[in-house]
Structure 1
């Protein structure tokens, strides 16, 4: 069990992987991207495809369950969390759960 690394596959997308660098490693965004300067964040789910061929999947699981409860919540956490003490998986997770 300790050797298994579970990840939401959406977190493997390049832009998602770069969010922490954009937020915490950028001299412009780093100092101002925080709860004192940001009033709200809007996450928009827009994909260039429909449910063609996946209707049965969404009928069984639902698009809210598929995207919102994992992909969009992961994105929200990356956008809203404080800077983690370390970039280790545990350090990032500890900040995400605070959101």
Structure 2
């Protein structure tokens, strides 16, 4: 991963840290990782980078991933990362 892509990922993770949510466009992911498909291995790298932001990486908040789809394509157009502890069910 190029330095500029590492910086972009860090910016996204900083947003996640401060706001509890961030959106990463699919084009950003494929650009950062230099491939056409986003894979489980890519998300592991994101998770590892997230854990490294903590004094004790094993205490890093668990993350949730949501794919943003449109109706015309099979591939997601973006991904939303959330801190799991901040996700609550709708009060119905």
Q: TM-score, normalised by structure 1?
A: 0.30
Q: Which has the higher contact order (CA 8 A, sep 6+)?
A: 2
Structure with the higher strand share, 1 or 2: 2
Q: TM-score, normalised by structure 2?
A: 0.31
Which structure's CA Rg is the greater one?
1
